[in-house]
Amino acid sequence: MPKWLSNAVFYQIYPQSFYDSNGDGIGDINGIKEKLGYIKDLGCNAIWINPCFESPFMDGGYDISDYYKVAARYGTNGDLKSLFEAAHSLGIKVLLDLVPGHTSDKHKWFSESKKPEKNEFSDRYIWTDSVWEAPRQYNFECGITNRDGNYMVNFFSSQPALNYGFNKITHPKWQMSYKSPECKRTVEAIKDVMRFWLDLGCDGFRVDMADSLVKNDDEKTATSEIWRDIRIMLDENYPEAAIISEWCCPQRAITCGFHSDFYLDHEGNGYHTAFRNDIINGEDTCFFSKLGKGDITVLTGELEKDLKQINGLGYVSFITGNHDIKRLSYRYDESELKVAICTILFLPGVPFIYYGDEIGMPYNESLKSKEGGFYRTGSRTPMQWDDSRNAGFSNANKQDLYLPVDDSENNVNVKAQSQYNYSLLNTIKKALTIRNEYNDFSAESEYETLFAQKHRYPYIFRRGDFAVCVNPSVESAKANIDITLKNCVFKIGDVDINGKNINMQGQSMGVFKL
């Protein structure tokens, strides 16, 4: 286990939208480098950068055409190496995005694979044995190459699926076992990519679609074998490198070799019901809504079960948001965001702050799709730094910006919120100061639910020798717990403690020493 990960707080950066250093309207690697001081001052000591590799950008860079080369819009490999060095000098770790499940259809591997003649890359992707063969339970692109076969895609037509084989063989003429030499060569190719960037200075990877490598693998046993093999390589050669999975099943992800696994926004799960439930029949059932009547026990039940099953072998990761979902601000105002985001920072595991969430960046639902973003485009707008031209993101002409910025007079931005003591930004900075000061909030520290009842407030949990009390509702809330609370180290609103009795004002939060 990498020693640094337990105390990590990540800041997720969508590179084309963070900061433009050269005035072309698109964020870049040097722009990230220039803002490292801001990230450190916020209280984050690690960053995750969405894919920054060469790509035709049919899916925002998740369609990679060269795993070994930084896209020209962002800079060069040398720029990325310089970013690693600058980040490390400030004590900041850097994760890159690993996309092992598919490439772009412009990748040189695929250019070779689609040729009719047998070659080294013929089996690097999943092909049927005939252009007339395209079983409907899979996604295939048909009849668009000279090769007599159809190729499987993961999502978009431009994303051919790499061949890690099949666990259950249903079409033996063209499906390969995941244990076949051809499929193992795919695994080795991805290992080579990981080694290249680790040797250049990165500190690990967030892994896209980590559970989807082997097909017909419902229980993920074959996919898990692959990740255990990769973990062995990391432990032997890069013991301080971290891999964090987009899986949303910690008990599987951790036991097969990942160091942490994301809780994602899946309808009905604990993260969704706590932070993102929709209004149903006119009633707000989201726990962290100020008008909510939510059920926090869905989250606590999942969390307790997962922590017990992973048993210290790894961590969970809570997110404020990411590039694939609407920003929390689409349904929360600033007072709600304070309580919700600060709670995420004190929950067990390795937290991730999506760029701009710390200032309440808006979700722009009016935007048309950009580079395969569709509804996600509204969460990918440029970072708002100040009240200057283009909100301080870029010196480019407005029509040349990657996406439009909110440069209205009253837009939320870093400069304005830095000057207001009780702003969302400064509230989050204070919370992170406490989190970073006490090891009780590290990912390794104990978690215990002290008060959580269906459709009731507050929610109280223990982290080490501290208790975190949370009341997102506008209504006051009371609770009695078996532990006596003492001095308060962090507070939002009014929380009154009388021995074991807790009285909380609406939309309040307190962190207390036991």
C-alpha–C-alpha distance, residues 71 and 66, integer Å: 9
Report residue 206 CA to chain centroid gap: 8
Q: pLDDT digit string (tens) for 425-464?
A: 999 999 999 999 999 999 999 999 999 999 999 999 999 9
pLDDT at 304 over 90: yes
Alpha-carbon distance of 213 to 112, in angstroms, equals 21
The answer to whether residues 194 and 233 belong to one domain is yes
Question: Does residue 163 register a pLDDT over 90?
Answer: yes
> Is 80 exceeded by the pLDDT of residue 407?
no
Q: How far is CA 431 from the centre of its chain?
A: 20
Answer yes or no: are the C-beta atoms of 288 and 474 closer than 8 Å. no
Residue pair 212/162 in contact by the 8 Å Cβ criterion: no
The CA-based angle 447-39-97, given to 5 degrees, is 75
Return phi, psi of residue 66, to 5°: -155, 110
Peptide bond into 458 cis (omega under 30): yes
| Domain edge (last residue) among 163, 198, 215 | 163
Residues 17 and 87 grouped into a single domain: yes
- Secondary structure class of 294 (helix, strand, coil): coil
Domain containing residue 116: CATH number: 3.90.400.10
Q: In this structure, is residue 296 part of a structural domain?
A: yes
> How far is it, in rounded angstroms, from Cα 245 to Cα 31?
26
Task: Answer yes or no: is pLDDT of 369 > 80.
Answer: yes
Question: Confidence band (pLDDT; 50, 70, 90) for 408?
Answer: confident
Are 340 and 297 contained in the same domain?
A: yes
Backbone angles phi, psi at 167, to 5 degrees: -85, -50
* Domains in the chain, number: 3
Q: Is the residue at 174 inside a domain?
A: no
CATH number of the domain that residue 374 is part of: 3.20.20.80
Dist CA 352 CA 262 (whole Å) = 9
For residue 206, give the H/E element and its range. Answer: strand 204-207
User: In terms of domains, do 361 and 490 share one?
Assistant: no
Same domain, 144 and 250: no
- Domain endpoint, select from 135, 163, 191: 163
What is the arithmetic mean of pLDDT over 274-302?
92
| End position of a domain, from candidates 113, 129, 163 | 163
**Closest-CA residue to 385 (of 399, 370, 405, 401):** 405
Instruction: Please report the sign of the dihedral spanned by the C-alpha atoms of residue 108, residue 113, residue 114, residue 119.
Output: positive
Q: Is the pLDDT of residue 156 over 80?
A: yes
Angle between helices 181-200 and 77-89 in degrees, nearest 10: 60
Please tell me whether residues 405 and 464 are part of one structural domain: no
- Give the mean model confidence (pLDDT) for residues 49-77: 98
Based on the fold, state whether residues 450 and 426 are members of the same structural domain: no
Share of the chain above pLDDT 70, in %: 100
pLDDT tens-digit series, residues 92-135: 999 999 999 999 999 999 999 999 999 999 999 999 999 999 99
Q: What is the model's pLDDT at position 498? A: 87
Q: State the CATH number of the domain containing residue 472.
A: 2.60.40.1180
10 band by pLDDT with thresholds 50, 70 and 90: very high
Q: Which domain holds residue 20?
A: 3-100+183-437
